[in-house]
Amino acid sequence: MNAVYLVCVVVLTAAAVLTLARVTMGPTMLDRSVALDVLISIVICGLAVEAAWNQHLFTLPTLLVLALLGFTGSVSVARYIRGFDDIEDEEDGA
């Protein structure tokens, strides 16, 4: 079980580091938004691994809140970007 836990921690840490690199180097706001959504998913997975390791359910409400926050954030950014696309279409006369 220690080996599985160690592999999960290493993989999640590597994924988090690469995702943070994408957040800092992302050329557009949409790239950064997707990277932050992935980072929230990685944090959720990390908390789930910790809960499985310690065999408790105390982090379940935190996992649910983070999942809702990630979904709401992604939808909000998508609608925000969509609003700018609609404004640009109106200015072009389309």
Domain residue spans of the chain: 2-92
pTM of the model: 0.82
Distance CA 45, CA 31 (A): 21
Q: What is the mean pLDDT of residues 62-66?
A: 93
- As to burial, measured by CB atoms within 10 angstroms (0-12 exposed, 13-18 middle, 19+ buried), residue 25 is exposed
Asked if residue 94 has pLDDT above 80, the reply is: no
Per-residue pLDDT tens digits for 5-41:
999 999 999 999 999 999 999 888 888 888 999 999 9
CATH architecture of 2-92: Orthogonal Bundle (1.10)
Q: Between residues 53 and 80, which one has the greater pLDDT?
A: 53
Residue 41 CB neighbour total at 10 angstroms: 15
Upper half-sphere CA count for residue 50 (Cβ side, 13 Å): 12
Q: Between residues 1 and 90, which one has the greater pLDDT?
A: 1
